[in-house]
Structures are given as C-alpha cells and as structure tokens.
Amino acid sequence: MKNPIRNRSLLLFSLKFDLKMKITVFLLFITLINIQAKNYAQNTKITLDLENVTIEKVFNEIESLTDFKFLFNRKDIDVNRIVSVKVKKEKVRKILDLLFLTVPVSYEVLDKQIILKSDTRKKTIPLPIIKEKEQQKEITGTVTDNDGFPLPGAAILVKGTDNGTTTDFDGKYSITVSENATILVVSFMGFSTQEIEINGQNVINIKLLSKTSSLDEVIVTGYTTERKSDLTGAVAIVDLDEVVTQPVADVNSMLQGRVAGVNVMSSGSPGAVTTLRIRGFSTIRNNDPLYVIDGVPTTTGLSLINPNDIESLQVLKDASSASIYGSRAANGVVIITTKKGKASDPKFSFDMYLGSQNVSNLPDMLDAQEYGDVYWQAYENDGITPNHSIYGNGVSPVIPAFLDAENTIPSANTKWVEEIFNPALIQSYNINFSQGNDKSHSLFSLNYFDQEGILKYTNFNRITARLNSDYKLFNDKVTVGENLTVAFSNSVGTSTNSLLGNVVYDAFRMPSIAPVYDINGEFTGYPPSDVQNPLGNLYRNKDNERNNTKIFGNLFAEIELIEDLKFKTNFGVNYTTFKSEKFNPTFEEPNAHRAINNLSVVNNIKFDWVWSNTLNYTKTFNDKHNLNVLVGLESISNVYEYTTASIQDLPTNELNIRVLNAGDQGTQTNTGDKIEFTLFSYFGKINYNYDNKYLFSATLRRDGTSKLLNNRWGTFPALSAGWRISEEDFFNKEGVLSNLKLRLGWGKTGNQDIPAYQTVSGFSSNPYYSNYAIDGSQTSTQTGYTLSRIANPDLKWETTTQSNIGLEFGFLNNSLNITADYFIKNTEDLLLFQTLAPDVGITNRGQWNNVGEMENKGFEFDINYQSDRTKDFNFNIGLNFAVIDNKLLSLGEGIDFIETNPAVLHSINFDQSTSRTAVGQPIASFYGHVVDGIFQTDAEAASSIQPNAQAGDFIFKDLNGDGIIDAEDRTFIGSPHADITYGINFSAVYKAFDLTLFFQGSQGNDIYDLSRYYNDFFNLANYNKHGRILNAWTTQNTNTDLARVSLNDLNNNIRPSSYYVQDGSYFRLKTFQVGYSFPESIAKKIKASRFRVYFETYNLFTITNYDGLDPEIGLQSYTSDDRNLDIGVDRGIYPSSKTFTFGININF
C-alpha cells in the first residue's frame, strides 16, 4: 500500500490538475476510513425536561438514559445546585457544557466516564440558582447578540438576589421572579454584562453587545486563526459594521482613514477599480495588496464582492504576519472572511439604503464675456491688434449672436462643468437568510447595488448572490463546506483623469460662449476648438455597457485526523469574465465629427484556481505550553485570455444594429492573446506561547513561480515575538494600565509580479507594429514577427524585508486602547522594467531586471476609547494616524531616475512629464522648474538670463547657475505623499439613538494640478480658462502669482514648474450618521427583533486649500503597472460625491 502511494505522489504535479485531484480524493478516502465511528456513546443524544431540580438529579437522569457514569468528589461539586434543563435530542457534552458554564467545574469524558472536578481557572459568575420558590411572575425572552443570533448559555440573574437561570440552545430563557424584582442582569462570556429594568414586562428580549477590543477575539490570519491577544504581528482589524453603510460599491473605499497606514487610492467613477496602499509604496510596479477571501488569494479588486457579506476583515501589515503568504505578500495582505450561518432557527435580515449623490466644489470657469476680455488682454500683452474669429476685432471683445457664418450656433453662456454633472441616485438592498444547528450552517444573501453617476449618463449596478454552507460529518471529525458568490455587474463609465478623452477635462476646456445645442437641437461646440461637446460625448456613450461576471468561491474539507491534528484541503476558484461593447456613433459638431460609426467588442476571461492543503496541530502541554504548528502546500494557476473585435460603418446609430455582423465587413478586426502563470508553494508556521505571556512565532515559506526561470524559487522566513507584560505576576491589572504587550517582528516577503514570460525570448506578431503591406495593397498586410522582448533568464524574486516593533496598551479595564507600531520596510532587487538607451530600438526599449532598492519607514498610531456600553449613553472615540516616509534608495548602476512610460504619456499627460521617480526621493515626486516670482518690469526681465521674458513672466530659478534656463534647471518640486494621514471616528449611543461621525484627512501632500496646463495659460488660447486667471499679472495687478496672459508665451511660462504644484492637504467629514432603533414593541409588530432607521451623509464637507474638484486624487486607472509613477496628478478626476442617504436595517 505504501509504495504505490509514494510513487504516485511523486507524480503529483506532472499531470497538473487532474491527477492531483485524484490523489487528494484518494487520500481523503483513506483518512475517512480511519476515522471510524468510535465511541458512539459520546454522541448519544438525549432529551431532558427537568425544572428546578438538583444537579444530582440531572446526573441520575443522564446515567439512566445513557451508558455514562459520573465520577466526582462531593467537596468539589455542589450537587444540590438547582437547575432547569430543557433539551431535545442533545449530545451529552452539550448538556454538560450548559450545566457547568457558570460554575468553576470542568469535566472530562473518558470513554463512558464523566469526571467532574473543580476548576479554579474558570471565573465564577453569579450562580443561577433558585433557592426557594416564591414565584409570582414568570419572565421569558431571548438573549441574542447584536445581530439577533441567539446566545445559548447566557446567565440571567435577578439583581441583588441569587435567583438566576441560563438560556437554552435557542437563546431562550424563562425565569420566575418575585413581584418586587426590578432589574435583570444578563451576562455572557465575551459580551458586556447588561442590566435590564423589568418594568412590569413579561417578555424581555435582550441583546448583548460583544465587548470591544476583546482580547479573546479570534481572528483569521494566515491559513489559521489566532486569538487577538496572541498576535505577534501588526494586524489591523476593521469593524465592518461601522463602514458598511457607506454609499460606495467597493469595500476598499470603505477603508479610507479606518486603518493607520492604509491608504485608499480610487479612480472615482462608479464601479471603477479602487485599491489600497498598505504601509506606503514598497515597489515601483504593482503595489496592490493580496486579498485572501475565505482562503482564496486574489489580486483583483473587490468591486464585485458584496460588502454586506463580509464577516471580518483583517489587514496584515507587517512581514511577520503576512509572510505566510510569502509569494505575493510584500504589499500587505487583506484577509476577508465572509459571513457563515450560525446555529439558530432560520434568521432573515434586510438592509437597504437609498440616497442622492451630489457634486460639489465645482471650479468657477470664465464666462463668455470674461473669456473674451482675457483674450483681449492677451492680445494687448503680445502687442497684437485684436482679431478673433468669434469675438471680432474691436477695441473690446464682442459676443456675436451666432458663432458660425451659417447662424446655426447661437452664442451662450454655458457653465459646462455644471452641465455634465447632476444629482444621482444611489441605492443598495441586501437580504440575508441564515440558519444552522450544531451539524450544519448555511447562509444565503442577495444584494442589489445601483449607483448612478454624478456625471450624467454614467452608472454602475451590481447583483451578488452568496451561498455559504458547512456540514459536520463523522462525529464532527470532518467538516466540509463551500463559500460561493456569483456576481454580475454592469456599468457605463467614462474616462477621467487623463488629458485626452476625459469628459471632465473637456468641460473645463470648453469655452462658455459655446451653447450645448445648436438651433436644431443637436449637440454643438465651439468652432475654433477641437473639444467635443462633453455632454454630447457622455450622451453618445450612454449605452456602452461593460459587464462583469464573477464566480468566486471555495470548497473545503477539514478533518480531525487525531486529536489536535487537523488536515484541511481548500480548493478555490476565481472565474471572471468581462465584456464591453463600445459603439461610437456618427456625429457632427463644428470642429469635431465622426463620419463613420464603429463598434468594438472586448471579451476577457480570467480563470484562477488555488488548491491548498494544510496540517494544523494545536496542543497545550502542562497547561502552559501552547503550541500551534501548521504546514502546508499550495498550487495556484492563473489564466487570462482576451479577444477583441471591431467593425466600422454600421448602417445606423440605433441600439438594435450594434452587432459586429451589421458593419462593413472590410473593416473588421480582431485580436486575441492568452497568458498563463503558475505558482507553487510550501509553507510552515509555528506559534508557541508560554503561559500566554511569552509569544513566539516563526514562519517559513518557499515559493516557485513560472514567471521566473533560473531563480524561480524564493524563500521567505519570518520571526516574531510578543511579551504580554500585563500577564506577569508583578503587573497589577487592576490598576490604570490593564493591558500591556510588546511585539517584535521581522520577516521577508516576495514579489514576482511582472508580466509572464519575461525570462524567455521569442518572436511574436503584433498588429500595431509588426505587419506590412509589402505587396502594395491598400487594405491588407502580411504578418511580421518581431522580437517579443529582451529576455532576462536570471530574473529573481523581489524581496521586501520588514521589521516591526509594536506596543499595545489597555487602560481602565481595556476601555482605552492604544496601539503604536514602528516599521522599517526595505525592498531589494526591485523588479523594474529598466528602460535602456534608445539605440536598442523602441519596441522593447527595456528589460526586466532586479535593480534598485526602496525604503519605507513609518509610525502608526491607533487610539480608541469605549465608554461603558451598558449605560444609556455611551460613546466610542477613535483616532488613527500614520506617518510614512518613502524613499527610493537605488535604481541600479547608472540609472538615477525613471519616468512615466512614454507610450502612455501622450494620452494621460499630453506629453508633459510631471513626475520623476528618482534615487533619494519618494516615488513619483513632482519634477520641474522652480518659479521664483514674476518679473515686475521689462527692465528687470531684460536684465535677466531669460532671453524673451517681459514684465509679468515667471522668473525661473537657474538652479545649476550656468546662466541659462534649460532642462538642467529642473528639480523636485513637491511630493504626492502625505506627511501624515489620519482618521477620527466618534460614535455615540443614547438609548435608541445612535450617532457616528467619521473624519478623515491627509496633511502635507502636494497635488500637481495639470488641469492648469489648459486652464491657466493662453498659449492654448481656444480653451476656456479657470476663473483665477482674472487675477493674472497686469501692470495694474502686480501682486499675484499668475503670469501675464500671452498667446505667444515666449518665456515658456507653461513649462512644468512649481506653479502647478498645490497643497493637497484636506480634512473631510467622510460620514455623518444618525440612527434610531425602534423599541421592541414596535419592531415586534412587524415580527422583527431589530428595526433601525438611519440618515447618513457622505463627504459632507471638506476643508482644503486645493481649488480643484477634489483633493482625493487617487491613482490613474490606465494600468496597474505604470500608475505608481504619477501619483497625485490632477487632470480632471471623477470627483467624490457628497451623498445623503436614508437606510433601514431589519432583523427578523
């Protein structure tokens, strides 16, 4: 038996997927046979209905119904304790749990003997004992947690007496109390004890609140779980209940300001990709963190995950916590666990919100007359006699009745930026069914989210369904289950934050004199300019939907092989399809038109699977040595393929004609490609703690990737330790300081995120640059093959080494908690597409290489105070902030800096290089000339080193002192990175009312306002200008920082300079929420256990000096690879909306 298996296991991966699956099934089968139903007695189920009897009576009853015998010492056990037991077909163990829940007694089941002994470690809670019967009144009810799930075993005590009881498996209780009893005290482990006034009620349902910052909270870390108090790494736990009402699609967006050291980078438009930066930018290319959802790693964004489905979210920030995910953990790991069914009767909840989103802070552009006036000023400054095709040639500009000779375009005074925005509806509906018993749990949820864009004719909507279930088999030795979500989304978006094709930017640029419509009611424009009517553009794009379908989930089985040793196998799938249809209709505007319509269709399929197998051994020796060992392996496969097709000249612009077959077949195109990569990993982790005081953890992971060749394998170790000083005998926990822990961590994580195949050379055909009509044809080409890349077979893993020191303080019985962390993160062997000297050609002008080093150092601080939650008025106040210093230490020999890829620079920046990633500077620092004031007189200008300058022009600093202002005089003129980012949360509850305020901000970051390129300079004369240009330098207005307006701009005032760099600091009231929970008497009428309504505002106000649309600039969306090289450049982004919502939460 042994040899064949060994031999086959050697073949494990030679046949990839199929064989591996077979072997697992085989091994599972063997394992299952092994775990035969032994000791059936333990699983015998009995029914008891005993009221107010001694505990001895219960023992006797159990002994009579089963083969069990109780063994105990009478001095340890109070056999006369009066209890009530009402159970139906329950296991004996469960009954014992209940019986001894609140008394210092523990039990052990040895074969058919139940040994009871005194257990002083267990805390004594008031004993639920009825000594004498003076029943005058019976009170019944249910004790649940905050979500309405029953809490079996909660203790209920009449205050001031020892009259008490416990709840049953459904959380129900019944207690007889004397007439003069006034208050019930309800307690349960892990929850705040609560006092309830009886007030003559017969039915009292009680909701217990889980204790904040409970150190016993169990959280999911790498492949396993840990108690929070045992953590040795920097792990942030996000309370999703607080954020889930935010009117945004994506859970990433909800994290802004919530976690110290985590920054959210969004690209604005509904449904667009939002991503996180955890502890700064650790590399140059892809900085996106790894997400692990129910054990399935994924790097694609979360916009298709329903935020309501998330049970818990942890951010693993440092290497010691993240390195178990070694291969892709360098940018941090976000662990998401979705909700599971709980042991209860079927539960149903409904949550919804409905709101209105509004744009605010729109820039004030020049109106039609002002634009003409400034134009005339420019003529005057240049010494030109005014002669304008629209405004005439008089001494002052004249607004004509029509802008064209044919009198079809009436002049207007359009506020274009207001024209393209409108208030928009946002709504979300979520239902959730769950149920379970001790053998199985299931949860089903359905969410519909619909966000209209504040930009007209844009929107995003999404439907997600989830089914999570698990089953216990073979005497609970085996748990199998699945988590599955299916999501569909549909969006109509538009490109923003690029200089070309950006509708927001076009609205900035379109002169106000241009009307929206011509006399025939058609979209029109401004004859001297090429800007398309922005509203027309949005309108023409309104049916260009993009559809995503995502199937994401996992199947798992966990087997307890022997006591304390569990084997878990988890197979996860992420299948995403993307389809977009873009139809560009014919249209005609004065200087922009499309004579032939076209349709292009894109289909992508992304299929990832991951299969992980782990063995986990947990054991406590001698009560003091707690050991947890995990070993595992994981294989990951990732396939991406796409096809595109397009056609032109469809017979009409109607919706129903928009299929590829309808166009001119001579214009058809298609492209397609396929990319695959695989990863294979071994990993192990040991957690050891001695007496819950001294904590140690060691991790080792070894990863192989198909993206590398000669250095395919990387090894990623991590070590960490914690000292719970407050557990020491010398420490007085009852003092002011109630908890104190020191954490130290060190570890390495890896990154191999480069395009596949960079280690092998080959030749490929590319329709953009390798074909040629050698035969002279006007409409066909022959296929050419071009070198695909300059391969580097010696590429290796990029490695990030991170050290972390953390301190956790708890004050006043842990109602005030402070966490402080300092880290140093150093990334070496940066994977960089190294641009080579241009004489290597243009097509592959570079090579992937391991060059350079990046450093992030930072300090994170988190403080939280929770007042006594059992009081009518209670509140929570939290503050977090992070200070992160990013610095590029090296880019390899001979290279001092890199800039945005020229291939994308044209469309996003109009060929302006604004940012430079240079050695010794933070990534993507702004780079340009330094403006050192304005020449106030022509004489001053003439005597300067700027040959063509006049009064009113910028004075540029001659930084190298060579007497010439040229490209060599550029320097670093600002940083997009904040000195400090912070979030402040305040929430309060008064009786049925609750209030939440959440502020968030950033201090010390700069914004490169590239929109000024068109909006502040008259050498792009035919575009509208920003209102601030009215303050441009003139002989009458000399005290200004805006250069004189000039059509010729001989001084080149427009060049990239510090003029564009603005302070981007802001402070924003992100959310403001007031809620009201209806009293149970009202909730009951609709059979609800909880019925809450709330009103919320999102982005209500922002305090900032930045005069653009929105200081939260985020990242470009063009590719995940290049966007880190131009952070914080504003080219007219899709702004954040100010949103007002009304919401309802109901639990049944």
769 binds another protein (CB under 8 A): yes
Query: Which one of 73, 396, 948, 1119 is in contact with another protein (CB under 8 A)?
Result: 948
679 near 797, Cβ under 8 Å?
A: no
Residues 646 to 665: which contact another protein by CB under 8 A?
A: 646, 648
**Least Å distance between CB 851 and another protein?**
12
What lies within 8 Å, CB to CB, of 488 at 6+ separation is 462, 463, 464, 547, 548, 549, 550
Asked if residues 474 and 261 have their Cβ atoms less than 8 Å apart, the reply is no
Say how far apart CA 1051 and CA 940 lie, in whole Å. Answer: 14
Q: Is 764 among the residues that bind another protein (CB under 8 A)? A: yes
Does 110 participate in binding another protein (rule CB under 8 A)?
no
Residue selected from 119, 938, 962, 966 as contacting another protein according to rule CB under 8 A: 966
Q: How far is the CB of 456 from another protein (least distance, A)?
A: 23
Q: Does the protein bind another protein through residue 178 (CB under 8 A)? A: no
Beta strand extents in 529-564 (DSSP E only): 546-562
Longest dimension (CA), the chain: 113
Closest CB 177 distance from another protein, rounded Å: 52
Positions in 495-534 near another protein (CB under 8 A): 527-530
- Non-local (6+) Cβ contacts of 125 within 8 A are 102, 155, 187
Among 369, 475, 549, 770, binds another protein (CB under 8 A): 770
Residue 618 sits in the site that holds another protein (CB under 8 A): no
Asked whether position 627 contacts another protein by CB under 8 A, the answer is no
Residues 1004-1033 that bind another protein (CB under 8 A): 1013-1014, 1017-1023
Query: CA-to-CA distance for 1135 and 454, rounded, in angstroms?
Result: 9
Q: What is the DSSP string of 1022-1038?
A: TS--BGGGGG---SS--
Among 396, 710, 765, 943, binds another protein (CB under 8 A): 765
DSSP 711: T
- Kindly write out the interface string for residues 662-701 of this chain, putting x where it contacts another protein by CB under 8 A and - elsewhere: ----xxxxxx-xxxxxxxx-x-------------------
Query: At 1039, which amino acid appears?
Result: N
Q: Answer whether 917's CB lies under 8 Å from 284's CB.
A: yes
925 vs 183: CA distance, rounded Å: 63
Strands 713-724 and 694-705: antiparallel
- Three-state SS at 188: coil
Backbone angles phi, psi at 975, to 5 degrees: -130, 135
Q: Which of residues 551-580 bind another protein (CB under 8 A)?
A: 561-562, 565, 567
CB of 859 to another protein, least distance (A): 37
User: 16-34 and 2-10 are packed helices; what angle lies between their axes, rounded to 10 degrees?
Assistant: 150
Q: How many CB atoms sit inside 10 A of residue 775's CB?
A: 8
How far is it, in rounded angstroms, from Cα 324 to Cα 470? 25
Q: Does 712 bind another protein (CB under 8 A)?
A: yes
Q: Can residue 9 be called a binding residue for another protein (CB under 8 A)?
A: yes
Residue 735 found at the interface with another protein (CB under 8 A): no
- Helix (H), strand (E), coil (C) string for 87-102: EEEEEHHHHHHHHCCC
What's the residue count for the chain? 1148
Candidates 754-762, 817-825, 977-985, 1114-1122; binding stretch for another protein (CB under 8 A): 754-762
Contacts (CB under 8 A) with another protein, residues 247-276: none
CB of 518 to another protein, least distance (A): 14
**Stretches 114-122, 441-449, 539-547, 773-781: which one binds another protein (CB under 8 A)?**
773-781
Site map 382..421 versus another protein, x via CB under 8 A: xxx--xxx--------------xx----------------
Using CB under 8 A as the binding rule, the residues of this chain from 578 to 617 that contact another protein are 584, 591-598, 600, 613, 615
Q: How far is the CB of 947 from another protein (least distance, A)?
A: 6
Nearer to another protein by C-beta: 478 or 1021? 1021
C-alpha to C-alpha distance for 693 and 987, rounded to whole angstroms: 33
CA 701 to CA 752: how far, in whole Å? 14
Q: Which of 1025, 1055, 1090, 1131 binds another protein (CB under 8 A)?
A: 1055
User: Which residue among 635, 720, 917, 975 contacts another protein (CB under 8 A)?
Assistant: 635
DSSP label at residue 438: S
Query: Measured from the CB of residue 520, what is the shortest distance to another protein in angstroms?
Result: 15
| CA-based nearest residue to 1135, from 416, 248, 264, 268 | 268
- Output 1022 or 1089, the one with its CB closest to another protein: 1022
Exactly one of 768, 872, 963, 1036 binds another protein (CB under 8 A); that residue is 768
Query: Do residues 347 and 1148 make contact, with C-beta atoms less than 8 angstroms apart?
Result: yes
* Residue whose CB is less far from another protein, 427 or 678: 678
Comparing CA positions, the residue from 508, 510, 533 lying closest to residue 523 is: 533
Closest to 633 measured CA to CA, from 659, 611, 601, 608 = 611
Amino acid at 170: D
Least separation, in Å, of the C-beta of 678 and another protein?
A: 6
Query: Closest approach of Cβ 756 to another protein, in Å?
Result: 7
Tell me how far, at minimum, the Cβ of 24 lies from another protein, in Å.
8
Here's the x/- map for another protein, 876-915, by CB under 8 A: it reads as ------------------xxx-----xxxxxx--xxx---
Looking at residues 33 to 62 of the shown chain, list those that interact with another protein (rule: CB under 8 A).
Answer: 34
Nearest CA among 151, 195, 192, 188 for reference residue 173: 151
**480 within 8 A of 559, measured Cβ to Cβ:** no
What is the smallest separation between the CB atom of 540 and another protein, expressed in angstroms? 14
Give the nearer residue to another protein in terms of CB position, either 361 or 786: 786
Query: Which is closer to another protein, CB of 306 or CB of 681?
Result: 681
Q: Is 3 in the site for another protein (CB under 8 A)?
A: no
| CB of 1048 closer than 8 Å to CB of 545 | no
Nearest CA among 440, 447, 473 for reference residue 462: 447
Out of 410, 585, 784, 1004, the only residue in the binding site for another protein (CB under 8 A) is: 784
In order of 342, 461, 468, the CA distances from 498 in angstroms are: 48, 24, 41
* Count of chain residues binding another protein (CB under 8 A): 142
Q: Which of 967, 1036, 1039, 1081 binds another protein (CB under 8 A)?
A: 967
